[in-house]
Amino acid sequence: MDSTEYLILYNNIYIKGLNSLVENYSELIAYAVGVKLSSIYLKISPVDPTFYFHFGLGVGPTLDLTVHQESYISPTDSNFKNYVLLTVEKAEDHINLLKDMVPFHHKHYKTSKMTNIENNTTVISGDAPTNINVVNIHCSLESSDLYVNFFNNFENYVFNISYNFYIIFISIYFIFFIIKFINYIKFILFIKNM
């Protein structure tokens, strides 16, 4: 088992605790999740040393992450000391939800890594833009593939159209049946009157 500690670097923020994403998915997914968490951190700017990220879509599963923050001296840049280290607790328990938190354009990111053999850490950084937009922190789970959402909408659209055609067809058939029934009654009355 790999004992390397992976640190994600984005916007002077190091994120620790995402090893399970690197091991089960890829460095790119771990970096993209780190970008999302860092962006949310920059937006809410918590002051407490321990705080919580809460993610949910209103329905379905929700994700609560406990995060610890502290000042940090970079293992790769000792001149600049204005770094923050965020330690995510129990990320491995939420790995499936975390992998879907990636920003929309994450597949275009290019990552690089630097390994420090002395303290057994690997820093993963990349070229994600520095202005990731986090619109709503409480609705920040995003699908990593747009086509899934597109085909769900398309399927709903086809279902709605076919349902409307079905209602129209049944209505026309019912009207036709009523007209035939009235004609049948008229025919019976006509026969009796003869």
- Quick: pLDDT tens for 71-93: 877 666 666 667 888 888 888 88
Domain that holds residue 194: 145-194
Q: Which residues of the chain have pLDDT under 50?
A: 1, 135-148
Q: What is the pLDDT of residue 109?
A: 79
Q: Specify whether 104 is located in the same domain as 17.
A: yes
Q: Specify whether 130 is located in the same domain as 45.
A: yes
Q: What is the pLDDT of residue 139?
A: 36
Q: What tens digit of pLDDT does each residue of 139-155 get?
A: 333 444 444 455 566 77
Q: What is the pLDDT of residue 141?
A: 38
- One-character DSSP codes across the chain: ---PEEEEEETTEEEES-HHHHHHT-HHHHHHHHHHHHHHHHHH---SSEEEEEEE-SSS-EEEEEEEEEEE--SS-SS---EEEEEETTGGGGHHHHHTT--TTGGG--EEEEEETTTTEEEEEE---S------GGG----S-HHHHHHHHHHHHHHHHHHHHHHHHHHHHHHHHHHHHHHHHHHHHHHHH-
- Measured CA to CA, the distance from residue 35 to residue 41 in angstroms comes to 10
Q: Which residue has the tokens 């599963």?
A: 61
Q: What is the pLDDT of residue 47?
A: 79
Q: Specify whether 113 is located in the same domain as 175.
A: no
Q: Specify whether 115 is located in the same domain as 163.
A: no
Q: Specify whether 17 is located in the same domain as 81.
A: yes
Q: What is the pLDDT of residue 146?
A: 43
pTM of the model: 0.61
137 phi, psi to nearest 5 deg: -65, -35
Q: Specify whether 85 is located in the same domain as 117.
A: yes
Q: What is the pLDDT of residue 149?
A: 53
Q: Specify whether 76 is located in the same domain as 158.
A: no
Domain count, the chain: 2
